[in-house]
Amino acid sequence: MGALRLYLMTFGATGVASLALVLYLRSRRKTAEQIERERRDRLSVIGRITDGTLIDIQEVPEDGSRQAQFVIFHYDVAGVSYEASQEITHLRGIFDIHNCKIGLPASVKYDPHNPGNSIVVAENWKGLRA
């Protein structure tokens, strides 16, 4: 009976420790906003700049009271044309899309290893011209 009790206590302690580890790791998971901020920061540092054109500005209802803002832009890298969009809802304090004109040139920062990964606005860089 003593060995069975020891096995049950060991199994229970292992289960509790595993559960605690899973809960800890889940609590440290990055949010989508944190991931996007890191992407913008990385591109503003390592990105190469090319010329692009602002194609459209969209405001899409996000939830009942707010609207998500997107800029859609076009650019070429090494003979390949790209069309991309960037959500700039969290950058409202940095850039006002209502002062921006569609069809005007813009500077685009892109990842040299993945040219489809690009931005036109970040916290410390702005490629859109108002």
Residue-wise pLDDT for 11-54, tens only, equals 788 888 888 877 777 777 888 888 888 988 999 899 999 999 99
Task: With cut-offs at 50, 70 and 90, classify the pLDDT of residue 59.
Answer: confident
Any residues with CB less than 8 A from the CB of 65 and at least 6 apart, and which? Answer: none
Pairing of strands 67-77, 80-87: antiparallel
Q: What is the pLDDT of residue 78?
A: 92
Angle at 106 between CA 79 and CA 73, to 5 degrees: 65
Q: Is the pLDDT of residue 85 over 70?
A: yes
- What is the Cα–Cα distance from 118 to 110, expressed in whole angstroms? 4
Kindly indicate the confidence band of residue 1, based on its pLDDT and cuts at 50, 70 and 90: low
| Count of other CB atoms within 10 angstroms of residue 86 | 20
Residue pLDDT, tens place only, 89-125: 888 777 777 777 888 899 999 999 999 999 998 888 8
Q: How many helices (H) and strands (E) does the chain have?
A: 2, 7
Q: For the residues of 31-55, what is the DSSP string, one character each?
A: PHHHHHHHHHHHHHHHPEEEEEEEE
Q: For residue 54, list its beta bridge partners.
A: 73
pLDDT above 70 for 130: no
